[in-house]
Structure 1
Amino acid sequence: MQDPLSVGYVAARRVLAPKELRRKLLLQVNPGHVALVTSPGRKAVLGPGIHELRKPDGPLNICWFPQGPVGRADGRPFPCPIPITEGKLADGCFAGLLCGFKIRIWDPEGFMFSFLAGGRLLDVEELEVRTRELVKRAFIEALSSCSSRDLEEPAFSIFLEHTANLALAGVGLRISSLELASSTCKGPFRSLKELLSELRKGLSFPSKEEKATSLREKLELLSKRPWLLKKPERGPRDWIDSWLSFWTGLLEDWMWANGRFYIGIDELRSAGPFSKMDKQDLGEVFKASRKEIGERKGRVFLREVLDALCSSTTNWALENGLYELSSSALMELLGLSKQEAEALLEELVARGSCEWAERGRSVLFSP
């Protein structure tokens, strides 16, 4: 039986019923791998080579896995980000951490039953996701009993490694190496809400103030001329064109001032001055705005705002300990819609500014 492990896979398990077995079985274990072989009354760990196995009295379990440290296929460690919004400390401060770790399979049988139930191949990406989630939860819990001073202690990395080992022990794994690549600490704050307010202030947004001024001017004009809420019913076509131009300009200023780039008509019906418009008139403004500003999938799309957000977000995230940034965090921090948050993450990944932590939901920033 050939060793099934290849590039991109970290473990494999075969379960053979007695009727599938001959009197003897030749088992291959490639260099750098080991195999755990179990059957009723027997357990053995076999190194590289060709091994002759006698037919057991019951089912035969074979699990191949690597001998040495396990990380990503390119040799890099698995990243484990703790965004500052989740790293609350005992003294009211918040900490963001970015660690990298490699693991060893310490208890082959425990590992096999935890990750390879029923017999299957385990790829590196799945192992990374599952171990990172275990380690991340343990780190967040451990941070809740730490103070901001503890993060400055030389032994803090050792504390993190011990914490990770406790989290991984139940699935047959241990830390081979762990590095604290970056950390950020802010506070103290009375609440998470106060931290979020501080984080929002740190995002530099080009031309935002200029557009906000333009928006204020248009809103002031609208307050003095409330009839602008209604499309002209009579008069030359120029009046209607001017009315549409005013509202498409107001919408563009509103999108810039609020950092919005992907708006549907349902959102406009409850946003600012647009909520006061007649449904049919708003529909005409929305149609004209898609033509004048831009369109994507039936929504108004302002590429320049997306570009500005992309150019600002990476440094802002790294400087503020947001090593992992989710779509839900973007919605809360920046007031984006779900569609906008997901589109921003996709654009950041496409530009090479970050990588997916959980595809479609969160990204990982590295210094």
Structure 2
Amino acid sequence: MKTFPKKLLDKLQKRKTDNAFRELSNTDLLIDFSSNDYLGFSKSEAIFNQSHDYLVGHNMKQNGSTGSRLLSGNHNLYHLAETVLCEFHKSEAALIFNSGYDANIGFFSSVPQRHDIILYDEYIHASIRDGISMSHANAYKFAHNDLSDLDSLLKRHSDTILDSSISIYVVTESVFSMDGDSPDLETLVQLCTNYHAHLVVDEAHAIGVFGDQGKGLIQELGLERQLFARIVTFGKALGTHGAAILGSEQLKSYLVNFSRSLIYTTALPPHSIATINSAYLELIKTEDIKKLHENIHHFRDELRNKSLELYFIKSHSAIQCAIVPGNDLVKKLAKKINDSGYSVKPILSPTVPNGQERLRFCIHSFNSKEEISEVLQLFATFVA
């Protein structure tokens, strides 16, 4: 076997030196405060059985899709699922991708054109950053959730592109994955309207958590008609896999023709699409969203009761983060909590900025109030 390249070895060593080295681990035996499975759908026997029955009922007894969606992989379940998505999310069109990562790199690498302007929140997800880096547009970040900063950028760039064919795209998340907070979406929509900018919102951590029947923050606020595109993912609260871009029929047609992460990959198998459909059916009738919010409220109450609010970023979502600066310290604290039987993940730099390392607590509908109180008591004990 050839010697591993020195430059790669050096990068691995630097990660170890910085105590930022990543390894795969199994936390199945621990009490879950780390997964994105907010409603417990990934382990739902009802969804599992419904997906099987759905496949049998549509005579789809096959394991794979056999090709990309533009070749042989666009089986009929795609059309049925995208119809469900359009009705549920009040969207003119929906296009399913293999993952949220594929959806974001597919959109941002193909839609913004050369000389277009992309204005993105500085805390935007890595998949969106990667997509932006693959585009030919000019990209500028604005301070996290700072709409005054965004307003200044919009004014500066709108003045330079008057009467031209250049477009401005503004990109944010409705719930940020590393902070659990949200922008002022109503003001953001008004800003984009004033400057004729195209607003794109990733709803990955809002679907299944916020809004009537878990439809997300955008629909809760009645803003769905004022966006250029929404990205919804199925690997968080819906407990399955894949994602979709919601928007106009023209946007869907454009993506089918130019989005490389859709065109050049094998389509999702029928079972994945059947599971997406079954998860949405379960979302409509579940009481788990109510239980989730009761647990989020209990978590926040316990922060106040235990005088821990100082450590935590303000959030009303299922993501609750305690700032513990330094990779060494946050990893040691996470290990102590893990060794006590609770799965809580440390978020290290460079994933977050130096000094902003944190413990990320993910709240679920299936966590008991006793578990929430206990994990926070452990945190309080270890940081004292």
**What band does the TM-score fall into relative to the shorter chain?**
under 0.3
Q: Scaled by the length of structure 2, what TM-score is found?
A: 0.20
Q: Which has the higher contact order (CA 8 A, sep 6+)?
A: 2
Q: Which one has a bigger Cα radius of gyration?
A: 1
Structure 1 or 2: more strand by fraction: 1
